[in-house]
Amino acid sequence: MKLMASGLFVLAVTLPSIAQAQELAASEPTVWWVWVLMLFIFSFFLGIIAVIAGVGGGVLFVPIVSSFFPFHIDYVRAGGLLVALSGALSAGSPLLKKGMANLRLGLPMALLGSLSSIFGALVGLAMPSSLVQLALGIVIMGIAVLMIMSKNSTVIQQIQPDYLSQVLQISGLYYDTTLKQDVTWNIHRTAMGSVLFVLIGFIGGMFGLGAGFANVPVFNLLMGVPLKVAVATSGLVLSINGSAAIWVYLLKGAVLPLIVIPAVAGMMAGSRIGAWLLPRFHPKWIRIVVISILVLAGVRSMLKGLGV
Amino acid sequence: MDNSSQKPVAAVENSYAVALEWVSTIGVIACLAAYLFYIFDLLPLSVSVRTISEHWGISADEAAAKGVVLTGWEWIEHLPNADMLSLASIALLTITPMICLAVASMAFLKLKDHAYTIISILQIIVLLIAVSGFFSR
């Protein structure tokens, strides 16, 4: 409970600041720097929470910022994609060097996901913003349910590889620091996983979500990829998908550097602190806090979409 | 399943990782530097910060119609204005995976891994199409 209180403390610091910023901005509508500063501080704390909870930044960033900040959802979705992209980029190199992120596994999925993420972004930008906000709320609630229901498998299974994975030579070897031994792995249900990555890419592009929340269970639970490899390779897929979708937003004028760069900087700084704090927090309690935030943000987003 | 192909693939991943580290670091530094130029008015701006903040509540389409944001590759013409430099630095960050994929495709080609060379090149083509704005027109 003490640890959960710590997580709630982080939120308690951030949310009143947003409320104060709203008051200040209401009295003086052009105090732009207050919002920018609040966004940086908020993204910083979000970065800490996201790392400890093991979720991507985008999935928390988009529903909360679109619900509580004055920015139109077009700019928030672009910001969400960039936040997720920069997080994945900064974590990518060490994970690749350690053999955790696997290109043979990630590239075919990213190829499908990036194509669908472009179409997702186009559809999202063409839809009325109230409908996007409503659909986002529903998706966020769905993610919260997924987080409650899914229990990623930490058991490394011996899998009989399927035909497609053998053709693509998708298999791997990494050193597991917990087990203190080399672990070899294979995958199965490659075709079904590929179809799901098309869907995940579409949703990620449409709502500006990082989609790590969906990549990891598909890799781990469906395809039998060890959890550590699934998490690391998810970042690789996410960075490629995000890179494709963000250009749709950028060329439509939906990338505002004024708000995107502080969000990215805050999230990256917070992620480093989060990684340092990680051993000191119990992920279970942080997960509960994150699920609570998602439910709150999902409900707020749906209400905003309905004009309530 | 035979895992004999692990070592050369690890070499590809290593080259991807090295490229990723360099390009993303340059991208982040460029973003922060350009942003300082932007908010402290150290270079001319295409659209003032105040104007942006007055319109960040309307959609990108509406803002584009009012000339507050630029669409397509129009922003290139406004370089080196500080706001467009910031946008260029973000663009650099977003093409990081493309540069890494180019490095990886060369590494796959060296290993005569034709399937993954093709997959990497196809991925680069998809990203180039996104960058070109072909679908966004």
pLDDT per position as a tens digit, B76-95: 988 889 999 999 999 999 99
Out of B31, B57, B123, the one facing A110 most closely (by C-beta) is: B123
In angstroms, the separation between the Cα of residue B110 and the nearest Cα of chain A is 16
Structure tokens that stand for B21 in this block: 């580290």
Q: Which of A42, A76, A74 is nearest to A58 (CA)?
A: A76
User: Quick one: which of A106, A133, A176, A305 has its CA closest to B17?
Assistant: A106
> Which residues in chain B (48-77) have CB-CB distances under 8 A to chain A?
49-50, 52-54, 56-61, 63-64, 69-73
Contacts of A174 in chain B (CB under 8 A): none
Q: Which of the residue ranges A135-139, A210-214, B19-23, B90-94 would you say has the lowest mean pLDDT?
A: A210-214
Query: Which chain B residue has the Cα nearest residue A112?
Result: B123
- Residue of chain A whose Cα is closest to the Cα of B58: A72
Q: Which chain B residues are within 8 Å of A239, Cβ to Cβ?
A: 96-97
d(CA A299, CA B30): 37
Residue A287 has what pLDDT? 72
A240 and B50 within 8 Å at the Cβ level: the answer is no
The lowest-confidence range among A202-216, A223-237, A274-288, B71-85 is: A274-288
- Kindly list the residues from chain A whose CB atom is less than 8 angstroms away from the CB atom of residue B71: 251-253
Query: Of A32, A59, A64, A89, nearest to A257 (Cα)?
Result: A32
Amino acid code (one letter) for A194: S
CB contact under 8 A, A122 and B57: no
User: Which of A10-14, B76-80, B122-126 has the lowest average pLDDT?
Assistant: A10-14
CA-nearest residue to B104 within chain A is A103
Q: How far is A4 from chain B (nearest CA, A)?
A: 33
pLDDT at A1: 44
Under an 8 A CB cutoff, do B94 and A90 touch?
no
Cα A49 from Cα A42, distance rounded (Å): 11
Beta-strand pair A171-176/A181-186: antiparallel
CB A266 within 8 A of CB A98: no
Scored b (16 or more CB within 10 A) or e, B110-119 reads eeebeebbeb
- Count CB pairs under 8 A between chains A and B: 200
List of chain A residues whose C-beta atoms are within 8 Å of the C-beta of residue B79: none
Of A70, A93, A262, the CB nearest to B56: A70
User: Residue A222's pLDDT band (boundaries 50, 70, 90)?
Assistant: confident
Q: Of A112, A123, A110, A289, nearest to A208 (Cα)?
A: A123
Query: What whole-number distance in Å separates Cα of residue A205 and Cα of residue A242?
Result: 7
Whether pLDDT at A280 is above 80: no
Residue A21 — very low, low, confident or very high, per pLDDT cuts 50/70/90?
Answer: low
Q: Give B-chain residues touching A253 at CB under 8 angstroms.
A: 60, 63-64, 69-71
Are the Cβ atoms of B133 and A253 closer than 8 angstroms?
Answer: no
What's the rounded mean pLDDT across residues B16-29? 91
- Identify all chain A residues contacting B73, using CB atoms and an 8 Å cutoff: 251
Q: Which residues, 6 or more positions from B68, have their beta carbon under 8 angstroms from its beta carbon?
A: B47, B51, B52, B55
Compare CB distances from A103 to B13, B56, B131 and report the shortest one's residue.
B13
Chain B: nearest CA to A92, how far in angstroms? 7
Instruction: Determine contact, residues B71/A85, Cβ cutoff 8 Å.
Output: no
Does B41 contact chain A (CB < 8 Å)? no
Question: Given B57, B73, B97, which is nearest A71 (Cβ)?
Answer: B57
Query: DSSP letters along A277-306, please?
Result: HGGGS-HHHHHHHHHHHHHHHHHHHHHHHT
The alpha carbon of residue A284 is apart from the nearest alpha carbon of chain B, in Å, by: 31
ipTM of the complex: 0.90
pLDDT for res A308: 74
Share of chain B above pLDDT 90, in %: 54
Average pLDDT, chain B: 88
Q: Is B122 exposed, middle or buried (0-12, 13-18, 19+ CB in 10 A)?
A: middle
| Over residues B114-131, mean pLDDT | 94
Mean pLDDT of B13-17: 90
As a whole number, the mean pLDDT across chain A is: 81
* CB atoms B120 and A107 under 8 Å: yes
Cα distance between residue A277 and residue A260, in whole Å: 25
CA distance A233 to chain B (A): 11
- The per-residue DSSP string of A234-259 comes to HHHHHHHHHHHHHHHHHHTT---HHH
The amino acid occupying position A77 is R
Helix (H, G, I), strand (E, B) or coil at A214: helix
**Subunit contact B119:A107, Cβ cutoff 8 A:** yes
pLDDT tier at A183 (50, 70, 90 boundaries)?
confident
**Strand (E) or helix (H) holding A184:** strand A181-186
User: Which tokens belong to A276?
Assistant: 């340092």
Q: Which residues of A254-276 are buried (b: 16+ CB within 10 A; e: fewer)?
A: bbbbbbbbbbbbbbbebbeebee
